[in-house]
Amino acid sequence: MACRSDLVARRPTVLVLMGAFWPGHDAAGPNQSLRGFCSALADDFDFRIVARDRPFNAKARTAPREAWTDLGFAHAAFLQPGLFAAWRLRELLRASPVDLVMINGFFDRDLTLPYLLLRRLGLVAGRPVILSPRGEFGPGALRLKRSRKAFWIAAARSLKLLKGVHLHGVSDGEAADIRRSLPWASLPLVAPNVMRMVARAPEPATRQEGGLRLVFLGRISPVKNLHYALRALKEVRAPVIYDVFGPDSDAAYASSCRALASTAPPQLTVRFRGEIAHDAVSTTLAEYDALFLPTLGENFGHAIFEALAAGTPVVISDRTAWRNLENQGAGFDLALETPSAFAAAIDRMAAMSAAERTRWRDGARALAERVFGDAQAVERSRAMLRAVLDDKGPAP
């Protein structure tokens, strides 16, 4: 462990464990959060990212393995997941000067679990640790694979894997979720996501025919609730085009969504468009009338923020931090218990005049600007890292 005077003289090295950081997946919310975080704090800290070399459950790697790659905002090393991932991670830790470890995801079996076990067994040097669950303890997320998650929580408590670990939530709401699930662990630190505000993309010069244009942006997985969205859209009376952008992170779930989409009524057109590069997200979202994302829960919701920043209203569930949207002229946040309310909101948007659509687009952008201006995310994130480095905490 480096002494305090040494850390003052140089940038501390922060090793970030981030499973889903493979190339071609840069539009994902957690990846954008990490990129913004590292870019904003690069003058103060030297970030090293360790990630899988492929998407979840994929057989072929999509990234160069293990050698450090310069990403501009950080260096990254990609590991093959599986039985020996823990030992490869151990070797990287031994070969790299690390002052602080940041873990993203509590239930990650390829990086989080191996690192916490190595740390608990004393097989890697003791370092300050921050663990960010990234929304995994939200009520909606916890209901998915409930038994497996309950076992992992119980094992972490029994083995004291979180002893000396600093938990991190991006909001007071997420901190409350963490405390509810891990009441025996340390109180969470709170620092919001570091966002990047882009210039507002221009609206399309001409409106395309075919009906209200809705967009889905995110992983095709149960927590994003695409299946629910497709069922709700069947109740919409107005013509609708629904374009789905995102990777199939759960093959069986994605297949069921495609099967449901194939039975869409005549007024509904569903198109699966695959992944999208982050550089194209803002201009793509600006082409649509609304983002429709009835998620089971988000600790922040990057797709929601990026839609609002693009001037695109959102139709989402009431299980995110984005609330009271209708009164702000930025969209709707509705209860998942009433699918008909989503259909009614979408029919209402389809009936809006051109002037009303413009007002809602302006309202969406204004909300994104207010949230961006109020977050103070960079200052709070810097303070969090400095505080953890100063307060080493108990040994594992």
Cα distance between residue 369 and residue 25, in whole Å = 26
**CATH domain 4-195+375-390 topology:** Rossmann fold (3.40.50)
Does residue 284 or residue 377 have the better pLDDT?
284
* Confidence band, pLDDT 50/70/90 cuts, at residue 66: low
Question: Is the pLDDT at 219 greater than 60, yes or no?
Answer: yes
Record: fold of 212-374: Rossmann fold (3.40.50)
- 114 DSSP 8-state letter: H
pLDDT surpasses 60 at 1: no
pLDDT tens, 128-145? 999 999 889 988 888 888
The first and second tokens of residue 159, run together, are: 């083995």
Report the pLDDT value the prediction gives residue 208, as an integer from 0 to 100: 60
Identify the pLDDT of residue 5: 47
- With a cut of 50, say whether residue 395 has pLDDT above it: no
Residues 29 and 37: beta-carbon distance below 8 Å: no
Q: What is the pTM of this model?
A: 0.76
Query: What kind and span of H or E run contains 4?
Result: helix 4-9
Helices (H), strands (E): how many in the chain?
Answer: 14, 14
| Amino acid (one-letter) located at 364 | A
What is the pLDDT, as a whole number, of residue 360? 96
In the chain, which segments carry CATH 3.40.50.2000?
Answer: 4-195+375-390, 212-374
Residue 21 reports pLDDT greater than 60: yes
* 173-212 pLDDT tens trace: 899 999 999 999 999 999 988 877 777 777 765 556 678 9
pLDDT digits (tens, 9 = 90+) for 326-365: 999 999 999 999 999 999 999 999 999 999 999 999 999 9
**Joined tokens for residue 207:** 């409106």
